[in-house]
Amino acid sequence: MRLVVAAVFASVVLLSGCSSKPKQEVVERSTVETMYETAQTYLDVGRFAEAAQVLTSMNTRYPFGPYTQQVQLDLIYALYKIGDQDKALSQIDRFLQLNSNHADLDYVRYMRGLVYQQAESSMFQDMFGVDRSDRSPLYAQRAFDEFRELVRLYPNSAYAADAQARMLGLSSRLAQYDLHVAEYYFRRGAFLAAANRAKKVVESHPGVPEQKQALELMVKSYHEMGLEQQSEDARVLLEKNFG
């Protein structure tokens, strides 16, 4: 009799365990959907810090599921909007590593360019209200390279046109730094180094207004070295492009 009772009890426990599992999955699914809807509401009204908190929680608690990749994409955007560049870049790198064939890779690369550009502008301008073209353009170069890679890999992307426009502004920033270095060399009598750095501006940054100043510096540097033909060539190019 004891054996029969034990068997019946075991069966009840087993059945109750099986029936509770689907209920738990339904509850979790409902929780995920509610959290995601909450995050979307925060994003829609511009409450990006709150959105980032909810999305981070989802990303940690539910790393696998139907919302996983979209949660990660939304989290990248939210972190960018609140200016948390380190976490945004970490999320971007992780997404690219785990989703090498995702349909939105052009968007992810575009966001990485935006984050680098944000880091470039916030380093001094946002903190101190100054524009220092003499400081290292590390993040500007990374942003430029990222946008250039986006355009190369995804020329038909919806983000390609904006990436190209941003590249022009970043190219001007990089040219300003090279000009600052070239002028530094010129003031110290390193005329060859000054001419070469100014020449880099002309060759590497087409279409930026800093080219005029670079050509003027080439004219003066070559003249100081007694290289009159090179100085004249730079002068002709200067007059041809800038009157």
Q: What is the CATH number of the domain that holds 44?
A: 1.25.40.10
**143 to each of 44, 163, 194, how far by Cα in Å?**
27, 10, 26
What integer is the mean pLDDT of 169-198?
96
Of 220, 197, 221, 223, whose CA–CA distance to 210 is shortest?
Answer: 197
Number of separate domains in the chain: 1
What integer is the mean pLDDT of 126-146?
77
Look at residue 8 in the predicted model and tell me its pLDDT. 37
What domain range is 61 assigned to? 30-99
49: in domain:
yes
Segments in the chain forming alpha helices (H): 2-44, 48-61, 68-81, 85-98, 105-121, 127-128, 138-153, 160-187, 191-204, 210-224, 228-242
What integer is the mean pLDDT of 183-209?
96
147: in domain:
no
How high is the mean pLDDT of the chain? 87
Look at residue 62 in the predicted model and tell me its pLDDT. 87
171: in domain:
no
Of 53-57, 119-123, 191-195, give the lowest mean pLDDT range.
119-123
67: which 2 tokens? 């919302």
Residue 172 reports pLDDT greater than 80: yes
162: in domain:
no
Residue 125 pLDDT level (bands cut at 50, 70, 90): low
Q: Per residue in 75-111, pLDDT tens?
A: 999 999 999 999 999 999 999 999 999 999 999 999 9
142: in domain:
no
223: in domain:
no
86: in domain:
yes
Look at residue 200 in the predicted model and tell me its pLDDT. 95
Residue 136 pLDDT level (bands cut at 50, 70, 90): confident
35: in domain:
yes
Residue 26 pLDDT level (bands cut at 50, 70, 90): very low
Of 2-6, 25-29, 74-78, 96-100, give the lowest mean pLDDT range.
2-6
Q: What are phi and psi of 203, to 5 degrees?
A: -85, -35
